[in-house]
Amino acid sequence: MDYSYLVTKRIENLPSGPLVMVDGTVRGWAPAAGDLHFDHHRPGGADVQIEEIPDSARLPEGATFVTTMLDADASAAAAWLRLLTLQPTPLVLVAARTRLAAIAWDCDHLGLPAESEHDPWRSFAAHAVAAMKETGRSIPARLGLPERGLQSEAQRTLAQSQDFRENVDWLVDAALGRRAWPGECGEALNYFARQDALRPTVESRCRLYRGCMVFDQRGLQDDYIDARLPVEWARRHDAPQALTLTVREGAGKPDVAAPGWPAHIMLHSYMLGRVPLHAHGSPRYSDRGIWKRLSQAEARQRKVLGIVGPDAHWRGRNDVGGSSSVVMTPEQVLDEVLGGLASQP
């Protein structure tokens, strides 16, 4: 049975017919009769998506898989749903679930929990995740699209949706013994070589503020930085806090600004994350109201500076989120986050 695949955050892009939304939820969407919806990022969610999918789940005919951000966890979840629907032998299902869960853990937590059933699959999972990222780099050229940084929104959606399809097909075929698993034939070697070459630059841009890791990525926007590079730095430096803040862009007057925006005001784009599997545990940003708190703090800071312009909202989920075009400095952002976490049980 053939399925369609879509990577989007826009509700207007959703097709008619049964939808299977995994590892995220398009804003404003609610499942209709016949749809399946698995989003472990909601409050109280599991560590990885596959753990929220019941073994009784079956795909509706002609379904479209939808995820809001393509990663290996979303691909593993979709592959597991296809396998549950195909119903191969129990031995095949057990072996597949073990590998898919390990891949999901490496994707979402940049590693597998020690002393667990996943531990023997640590290297396998890291290579599988990297292999899928690496092979996806060729998709724009194969589709006749420009490079990622030059793509329109529609072109990015097309490329990412094709990447989603190919990842899921690969995982299903591997589980059924039709081909090797991602990374088992050396597909990840070039990926790791590029990240190793970037490691000194990344580490030179990392610092600690109030026990939190701050990574200044400005000027490196053309290079894909694997999140595990700054997180490895934080782990080696025993960062007391499980918080990570990546400064992604800096600019003067933004394209979206209202006329009269002060050109001297530096704006930033941030990604607020965490150090996965940190000894002190990871913060739960959505549960603790951190995104609303940061949006309110940004509004106050603009008022202090006398700036009248477009609103900037922080958005995210429990483990990661961010904002673009904000005036708050990294120190102000982390002060607000730490204050918000400390003020609640």
pLDDT of residue 304: 85
Could you give the CA distance from residue 240 to residue 278 in angstroms, rounded to a whole number? Answer: 9
Whether 103 has a pLDDT exceeding 60, the answer reads: yes
Which H or E element spans position 272?
A: strand 267-274
| Helix 189-204 vs helix 228-236: crossing angle, to nearest 10 | 50
With beta carbons less than 8 A apart as the criterion, state whether 166 and 135 touch: yes
Could you give the CA distance from residue 39 to residue 85 in angstroms, rounded to a whole number? Answer: 19
Please name which of 166, 126, 154 lies closest in space to residue 5, comparing C-alpha atoms.
166
Could you give the CA distance from residue 27 to residue 311 in angstroms, rounded to a whole number? Answer: 18
Of the pLDDT bands very low, low, confident and very high (cuts 50, 70, 90), residue 19 is very high
pLDDT of residue 280: 81
Query: What mean pLDDT comes out for the span 158-181?
Result: 98
pLDDT of residue 294: 95
Residue for token pair 């629907």: 85
In this prediction the pTM is 0.85
Least confident of 77-86, 197-206, 224-233: 224-233
Could you give the CA distance from residue 181 to residue 169 in angstroms, rounded to a whole number? Answer: 11
pLDDT digits (tens, 9 = 90+) for 257-316: 455 566 677 788 899 998 888 888 878 888 889 999 999 999 998 888 887 766 778 988
Of the pLDDT bands very low, low, confident and very high (cuts 50, 70, 90), residue 87 is very high
Residue, of 94 and 119, whose pLDDT is higher = 94
Token pair of 262 as six digits: 């002060």
Could you give the CA distance from residue 305 to residue 256 in angstroms, rounded to a whole number? Answer: 18
Of the pLDDT bands very low, low, confident and very high (cuts 50, 70, 90), residue 109 is confident
Strands 243-251 vs 36-38: parallel, antiparallel or unpaired = unpaired
pLDDT of residue 119: 73
Of the pLDDT bands very low, low, confident and very high (cuts 50, 70, 90), residue 242 is very high
Percent of the chain clearing pLDDT 90 (strictly above): 67
pLDDT digits (tens, 9 = 90+) for 136-154: 999 999 999 998 778 899 9
Across the beta sheet with 36-38, what order do the strands follow? 4-7, 64-67, 19-22, 36-38
Could you give the CA distance from residue 14 to residue 45 in angstroms, rounded to a whole number? Answer: 24
DSSP 226: -
Please name which of 177, 192, 86 lies closest in space to residue 129, comparing C-alpha atoms.
192
The whole-chain average pLDDT of the chain stands at 90
Token pair of 93 as six digits: 């299902």
Whether 253 has a pLDDT exceeding 50, the answer reads: no
Token pair of 169 as six digits: 């097909």
Whether 1 has a pLDDT exceeding 70, the answer reads: yes
pLDDT of residue 260: 57
pLDDT of residue 251: 53
pLDDT of residue 40: 92
Whether 219 has a pLDDT exceeding 50, the answer reads: yes
pLDDT of residue 42: 83
Cβ count within 10 A of residue 343: 10
Whether 9 has a pLDDT exceeding 90, the answer reads: yes
